[in-house]
Structure 1
Amino acid sequence: MNPSGKTPLAAKLSLLLCCTLVFCQSGSAHAQVALPALSLKSVPVPGPSADALSQFVADKNAAIQLGKALFWDARVGSDNKTACASCHFAAGADTRTKNQVSPGLLRLSPGPDKTFQLGAAPNYTLATSDFPFTKHADVNDALTRLSDVNDVASSAGVFTTAPDGAVTISNAGGPDTCAYVSDDAIRHGGDGFNIGEVNTRRVEPRNSPSVINAVFNFRNFWDGRGNNVFNGGDPFGMRNAQPQLWKLDKGKLTKVSVAIPSSSLASQGSGPPLSGTEMSCRNRAFVMLGKKLLDQKILGGQSISPSDSVLGAFTNASLRPSYRGLVAKAFRPEWWQATAAVRFTTSDAMATASMDLRNPPKFKTPIDISVGQMEANFSLFFSLAIQLYESSLVANDTPFDRYAAGDAGALSDVQKTGLSIFTGKGRCINCHGGAELTNASVRNVTSQRLERMTMGNGSTKIYDSGFYNIGVRPYTDDVGVGGNDPWGRPLSESLMVLNKLSALLGNNFNSAANPVPASADEVSVTGAFKTPGLRNVELTGPYFHNGGKATLMQVVDFYNRGGDFAEENRPFLAPDIQPLGLAEEEKNALVAFLLSLTDERVRLQKAPFDHPSLCLPQGEVGDTLWIKPDASNPINGADDLPNSSCLSEVGASGSNLPLKTFLSLPPTQH
């Protein structure tokens, strides 16, 4: 039985070959879908309508240029070393290995775990032997568990700053001046990203998912915080009516609220630049980032290939436009051209909510500054530009896409067998449905926002479409979409409807068409996470929201044994999570099929996946026992390894150095 209580899938390969039909989840019943419909080339790229977008964007191409420049610019980070791309540089994901471990900070009971089990301290270098994080004597038997750690393999961000500290911005584009504090967990109540008196970079509490094909997700982030409606200021859509923009209307500046549908990438993009873990000093507002960047030339100090598919015209650093110039070209003038100053205060800063799950900013230091309209609306320009750039990162030219479109020779016989297992005995397609290979897709979710799940005991529960508890960790380690937004309301759309808050969900949600039972016990969202799409999955390890599996075979082993923590999650567990009984030959075939989901343009970084140069922070000078302080960091900052991982610029024709798997491991390694 699949998560929606639907008819089991046919597993016969002959059905695929002779009838060119497969079964996949669609709405409230499994539907026969013609194989060509499983090519991602057949799916329109989601996004706001042309009419909705035209209310803000004047030149879409210029907006994409702006978005790509901002995505790769290291000056977006408070330290001038952290770009959006720092966590999404390898097939849209992050394959760094040093200082990439976070302790169990999201654990509910008995509270956050601030101890590092891997390496016993931060600044550890992940090794092959660390994986999988939950080890078994028999990889096919969940009852033979040998060892387990609740650490998370994720992405290094920025150094710890005070939640109520002040931030000073340099109009010359230099690093922000921030209130750095010790992150010592015992003496100062921090999170433990320190060795002795010196802080390491903080590491995000969940693994970084790929931004490639993220445009097909109805909501973004593992827990769906990246709302499908963009409110112009933060990730939370219509849940937060406070973010307001300044619009020039008949010569007068007026505060207005916006709700841009089909824009979860903009919602997601608005979060990290102000996150006190990912990119920013806490208490930095978007207006401050605008003051820092707008008068700077794009990508200062970074190189652009002459053949860059988007930015190639800006190779010459001295001739590059300023961010102000690109904003003026990309966006309608009523959002930026006013000559009157805008007064921006603490209340304006507090109107937008932080994406941080822990230690959000407090804005105790008063803010009262006069800025231009362009600075005041920088959150709009930044986030929509990021959305339009990321919407171009569509990987739809894989061997599987070509096979689905009719090229019978695009897959090997072993891969065709793996596809049969994927759609049948392996139950993979029950969650990774449709051409997008995720039930969290725009098409599936807009068809049915809430779905019914027939549990193992025969009861029926409601869940958010595309979000499942699959037993990766005990739900007490991380409740996922079962958590709350900054105002204490549930992130789960099922629970929002139950609490009669469906009006805040947007995108034409009709609660009458999406009823839930009267009892909260009949909603199953605790410990559930968004199902990722699978294209390029060969290149995007480590896997799952905790990054606890290093290879595709380790992922297949996980599903074959029925999850790692099925019993601990039994009340909320998706019923498809049960032992599959796959033989080794079948597991190898399934991995072979997953390899057919790699778009070679991504592997070789060909357009649209080409990029400017970028140097990545990759651990600190030292090890887990000692780290070198950075003399230029005012308080407690470690010295990053110098130029430890610098990416050269890549043009439209791609790189001669193909992207590798995580830790360069073979995908079939147990």
Structure 2
Amino acid sequence: MGIIPIISLVIFTTALSSYLLLTSRGRFLLKSLVTKIKRQEWRFRYGKPNYLRSRFTRTITIAVIILAAVIAGNTVSAEVTGSPPVSLKSVSVPEPDNLGDFVKDKTAAIKLGKTLFWDMQVGSDGKTSCASCHFHAGADNRSKNQIAPGLLRVNADGTENPDSVFNVGGLPNYQLKPEDFPFHKLSNPNDPTTIVSDRNDVTSSQGIFNTKFVDVTPGNAEDKVTTEPDPVFNVGGINVRRVEPRNTPTVINAAFNFRNFWDGRAQNIFNGVNPFGLRDPNAAVVKAVNPNSLEFVKVSLKNSSLASQAVGPPLSSFESSADGRTFQEIGDKFGRIDKRSLSVGKGKKLPRKLAKKLLPLRPLGKQLVHPQDSVLGKDSRSPKPGLKDRTYTQMIQDAFKPEWWKSNRLIQVDSEGRRTFVKKPDRSLQTNEYTLLEYNFSLFFGLAVQLYESTLISYDTPYDRYLEGDANALTDQQKLGKELFNSKGCAGCHAGLELTTASVSSVAKDGRIKRAPFGPRSPEDNGFFNIGVRPPTDDPGLGGHDGLQGNGQGNPLSEARLAQLGKFKDLLGENPPTLSPPLNSSETVFANGAFKAPGLRNVELTAPYFHNGGQATLEQVIDFYNRGGDFGVLPPLNLSPEEKQELVAFLKGLTDDRVRFDKAPFDHPQLFIPNGHVGNTNYVVNDGTGKATDDTVEIPAVGRSGNGGTPNFLS
């Protein structure tokens, strides 16, 4: 290309830049143009075919680049000061359209949800709550007895091949150290070929001991259980608490996710019973047609993945439940113990045992509630534990419409799972007889916890204040990091104001499934990616199955694979998006080893990182991306040391200090958590029942004004 055309283009683009910056139409065109430039830049950098096939195309491209250079000094200012304030505050928290069919008082439901989330009495052991794994920035900062071996490993054909060897620490109850990380060690962190060691263990959260559920004693926080020898989680034959096979994600901002859990199995549609939405044809709750007449009904609440997620852990034999305790019938043909702990327990015991145990108990009866708690303060009994003058029955009745809890009839469930509606007797109920309120407890639990978690939105970060027009909210270093975040492709997965393509808004915009924008353009689930953290056989992630079949496999978790099988509408409730080119039933779907892209706010506080918890610091995370991942998936970024520091600085600009210091709405009741067991990997203390004695840590109650927060992982 000659010098005269280039000079002409410079003059032209300089004039054009004034129009683009000074008119609203021009600013719109500018925004579209910059977006296209970034997309084209990504294609060049990451090996897309060369689109500049002609001299004319090259000329236009140079014009675009010159235009971008001319206006570059103005785009940041225009972004901050020339546009209306846009931050996470502007994003509506997703909610089901038919919520009003169930909830009569949202404020009361939020109060119920916060109580259930933090109440240690929910667990089979009377000590384990949802918050036991989500107390620090919505995640878990514990570092002793937090290692699981590669329990989710599979063979190349997908059959189970669990690894029970502890490569980190050698045995359970290990105290992690900074030098244990990353789990995939290199002599040169910029060169993926310089492997020193590789371990497939997972840093996660300790849950409960391996026990079999027998029954509940109404009014007693501890279930009747029998201790079962644990072949994996034991020290010298004494059981220690089991550890989940995936790292614990934060619950903060999880309300924006279209699906939840790392593998997306917590469905967007809540069926009122379990995490599986329309995938489970047997899921049903009971509705009172009138006080003397009951009927089974199927419910469907869209944008309720948090409710689907909430009803999973209370029944997980790894997280908080003795094996065999369920909210409701999943069905005998579905009932089995998933060896990989991904199911909700064994479906043989059908009744609503958790409700029967909890309802007579004082809510939060083992924990102090701060008098200034932003939700529960008015009901605090401080300095005594629990809530005053409140029962779970009253809290449910305050929050939900009476047709879901008020009836003169009972649901009687026999040993074979047959259910019969009977008149209430003039005697105490047996443990296989359930009031309507008890039977529908999973519905109340899921929706109440979802509504509480939907208040945990961290929109007051330096980054959000910057987006709202405060040019000084980010440091110069953080602004440089922000530009790198966009130009180096980070925003390809962490897009939008939610900083994840796994969000409800992203799915609404681009569809539940789509074609990858680069390479062979294979179909993929929106928001799920294999970035090479581990080989897909270590943990198939989205490539796994839901387990809802007698063969133990079930249907694919991947929605793209459901579309290939022609099951999308039946199992997900809508027609699949039309892809271009159309989806072929035999083409490869990117699902094996793919996991949900998390949002990034408060990432400074939520170490360890990735689904395996194999990186302990943000610096290690940036090194991982810089070298193109550990297992050959990503293109290398070739960052300088200064650019790495800029990216880390930007990520720290995503921290909401209300989260850091437990200020409302992130304040909470008192909590007691096990931080491993008294002893070490060679010796633990038997509590007399074959279980190791807990090393218990107190997390004090905090009110709306917050406190000093809890230390970060390994701090």
Settle same-fold status: TM greater than 0.5: yes
Structure 1 distance, partners of 2:418, 2:680, is 38
Matched, 1:78 2:111: no
Contact in 2 for aligned 1:551/1:662 (Cα 8 Å): no
Could you give the per-residue CA deviations for residues 361-416 of structure 1, whole angstroms, max 9, x where no partner exists? xxxxxx98111111100000011000000000000010000001111010110000
Other structure's SS at 1:616 match: strand
Matched, 1:600 2:657: yes
Structure 1 distance, partners of 2:698, 2:557, is 37
Other structure's SS at 1:147 match: strand
* Aligned equivalent of 2:712: 661
Other structure's SS at 1:141 match: coil
Other structure's SS at 1:408 match: coil
1:300–1:624 distance in 2 versus 1, CA, 3 Å: same
Matched, 1:614 2:671: yes
Other structure's SS at 1:70 match: helix
Structure 2 distance, partners of 1:504, 1:393, is 33
Once the two structures are superposed, the pairs formed by residues 240-639 of structure 1 within 5 Å of their partners are 240-251=280-291, 252-286=293-327, 287-316=352-381, 317=386, 319-345=388-414, 369-425=432-488, 427-447=489-509, 448-455=511-518, 458-487=519-548, 488-506=554-572, 508-512=574-578, 517-566=583-632, 573=633, 577-631=634-688, 633=689, 636-639=690-693
* Aligned equivalent of 1:27: none
Structure 1 distance, partners of 2:93, 2:418, is 33
Partner amino acid, structure 1, of 2:74: C
Contact in 1 for aligned 2:219/2:357 (Cα 8 Å): yes
Contact in 2 for aligned 1:553/1:587 (Cα 8 Å): yes
Pick 1 or 2: higher relative contact order, CA cutoff 8 A, min separation 6: 1
Structure 1 distance, partners of 2:377, 2:220, is 23
Could you give the per-residue CA deviations for residues 256-291 of structure 1, whole angstroms, max 9, x where no partner exists? 111111100000001000000000001112210000
Other structure's SS at 2:675 match: coil
Structure 2 distance, partners of 1:13, 1:532, is 33
Structure 2 distance, partners of 1:124, 1:627, is 11
Contact in 2 for aligned 1:13/1:416 (Cα 8 Å): no
* Aligned equivalent of 1:140: 190
* Aligned equivalent of 2:216: 169
Alignment gaps of 5+ in structure 1: 24-33, 185-191, 351-366, 567-572, 665-670
1:490–1:57 distance in 2 versus 1, CA, 3 Å: same
Contact in 2 for aligned 1:154/1:207 (Cα 8 Å): yes
1:304–1:248 distance in 2 versus 1, CA, 3 Å: same
Q: Which moved more, 1:283-292 or 1:204-213?
A: 283-292
What displacement does 1:7 show?
3.4
* Aligned equivalent of 1:227: 267
Matched, 1:183 2:240: no
The root-mean-square deviation of aligned C-alpha atoms, in Å, is 2.4
What displacement does 1:59 show?
0.8
Contact in 2 for aligned 1:451/1:463 (Cα 8 Å): yes
Structure 2 distance, partners of 1:88, 1:16, is 42
Q: Percent identity?
A: 49
Alignment gaps of 5+ in structure 2: 1-34, 43-63, 328-351, 420-429, 549-553
What displacement does 1:621 show?
1.3
Contact in 1 for aligned 2:364/2:387 (Cα 8 Å): no
2:141 is aligned, of 64, 81, 95, to: 95
Structure 1 distance, partners of 2:363, 2:613, is 33
Contact in 2 for aligned 1:241/1:257 (Cα 8 Å): no
Q: TM-score, normalised by structure 2?
A: 0.81
Contact in 2 for aligned 1:93/1:208 (Cα 8 Å): yes
Structure 2 distance, partners of 1:21, 1:508, is 43
Other structure's SS at 1:662 match: coil
Could you give the per-residue CA deviations for residues 573-627 of structure 1, whole angstroms, max 9, x where no partner exists? 4xxx111000000000000000000001000100000000000011011110111
Matched, 1:108 2:174: no
* Aligned equivalent of 2:175: 125
1:347–1:402 distance in 2 versus 1, CA, 3 Å: farther
Other structure's SS at 1:212 match: coil
Contact in 1 for aligned 2:136/2:606 (Cα 8 Å): yes
Contact in 1 for aligned 2:120/2:366 (Cα 8 Å): no
Structure 1 distance, partners of 2:487, 2:102, is 46
* Aligned equivalent of 2:40: 7
Contact in 1 for aligned 2:172/2:240 (Cα 8 Å): yes
Other structure's SS at 1:89 match: coil
The number of equivalent residue pairs is 607
Contact in 2 for aligned 1:539/1:659 (Cα 8 Å): no
Structure label with greater radius of gyration: 2
Structure 1 distance, partners of 2:658, 2:282, is 41
Structure 1 distance, partners of 2:72, 2:125, is 53
What displacement does 1:38 show?
5.7
